[in-house]
Structure 1
């Protein structure tokens, strides 16, 4: 996996593409978790792992958004 400091070496265009990919993966995980919970699948370990991966993606999304958002002092 890429370390957070790798963002400084990437162009804004590359970061925007990664942001969209991470957002799509986050949505897909959300749908997968919902589907497992609705079916009543009792594999809590799988659900827990998917939720952990979803949180990781959320953190990556936040890091990229912070990098892409200019620091404007109001």
Structure 2
């Protein structure tokens, strides 16, 4: 898998997770532990995307 396609997949997953977080947040009986785990995963994806973008521009 090329870096560009991997980056595109990570960005797609980040957006999907963002939409899912919005849905869970709007639900009255949202599980706060699940929501926190989802937000951590979203941040991990964002960090990985940033690392790939920085690494890709160096080469």
Gaps of 5+ in 1: 1-12
Following superposition, the deviation at residue 42 of structure 1 comes to 2.7
TM-score (structure 1 length as normaliser): 0.72
Gaps of 5+ in 2: none
Which deviations, in whole Å up to 9, do the C-alpha atoms of 1:23-61 show, x marking residues without a partner?
000001100000011122330000000000000000100
Counterpart secondary structure, 2:8: helix
- Correspondent of 1:67 among 40, 49, 55: 55
Counterpart secondary structure, 2:48: helix
Q: Of Structure 1 and Structure 2, which has the larger fraction of its residues in helix?
A: 2
Length, aligned pairs only: 59
Q: Does 1:46 align with 2:29?
A: no
* Segments ≥4 residues shifted beyond 2 Å: none
CA distance in 1, matches of 2:20, 2:29: 12
TM-score (structure 2 length as normaliser): 0.89
Q: Does 1:35 align with 2:23?
A: yes
